[in-house]
A = this chain, B = another copy of it.
Amino acid sequence: MLSPKETYKDIVIRHIYDGLMEGRYSPGEKVLESVLATDLGLSRAPVREGLRELVSIGLLEYRPQVGNFVATMTPQEIVDTYVTRGVLEGFASSEAAAEMSEEEFDLLDEKAGRMQLAASRNRKKELNDLGEIFHKSLFRHCRNLQLHKQAESLSLKHHLLFHRYWANLYSPEEIASRHRKIVNVMRSKNPDQIEKTIREHYFITGNRIADLARQESGNNA
């Protein structure tokens, strides 16, 4: 990730994103332009720019003449985003598999092992980053940059969800087995099977996270 010059807008984006990670912002909460401006020592102009970009990413929702709000995701919407990601990355991976060598598949298996290790040691950030690297490696060789862009937007949202619910999501062993299963089907280079497997992976993950979100909202009510 190269940023030639971090502009004020980027500071705003990072500030909100970190705040979302740390839970300083709650879903549905309103984000005031003026308080952000004073907090960061800026004027409202660059703040607005940053907020608009966060809206386009999908982390905020914007209502004209009213303001910006932290995006709320219903359990169903959570499942939908994972299903959509499965469709996109499943296809991208099926195309990428044809270009990949055995050595690269071995590296993926190794990454799965490192994920298991990170999970067993409760290293959240490391696990989250490894997961992103793993999945990106699956379709890195897909030449369709459109697909990459569309998938990346979803990946960002899921990064936040994973950060919140990872503890009760998968056991370390399950993480390894699930991801090794994906590597195995990639080795087969059978497009239909690859798509099917990756779609299933995201479908299950999405439903589990949706359940965890349901539990949480149930306890709060």
Using a CB–CB distance below 8 Å, which chain A residues touch chain B? 4-5, 7, 45, 48-49, 52-53, 56, 64-65, 76-77, 80-81, 83-84, 87-88, 91, 143-147, 150, 154, 192
Q: Given known contacts A53-B52, A64-B4, A64-B7, is B84 in contact with A87 (CB within 8 Å)?
A: no
**In the complex, which residues of chain B have a beta carbon less than 8 angstroms from the beta carbon of A143?**
76, 80
Q: Is the CB of B150 within 8 A of A150?
A: yes
Told that A7-B64, A192-B192 touch, could you supply 13 new A-B pairs with CB distance under 8 A?
Answer: A4-B64, A5-B64, A52-B52, A77-B146, A80-B143, A80-B144, A84-B150, A87-B87, A87-B88, A87-B91, A87-B147, A146-B154, A150-B150
Residue of B nearest to A81 (CB): B146
Q: Which of A7, A45, A65, A84 neighbours the largest number of chain B CB atoms within 10 Å of its CB? A: A84
Residue picked from A80, A145, A154, most chain B C-beta under 10 Å: A80
Question: Most chain-B CB neighbours within 10 Å: which of A7, A76, A147, A192?
Answer: A147
Q: A52-B52, A56-B56, A87-B88 are in contact. Are A147 and B5 (CB under 8 A)?
A: no
Given A52-B53, A53-B52, is A80 in contact with B145 using a C-beta cutoff of 8 Å? yes
Q: State the Cβ distance, A62 to closest chain B Cβ, in Å.
A: 10
Chain B neighbourhood of A65, CB < 8 A: 5
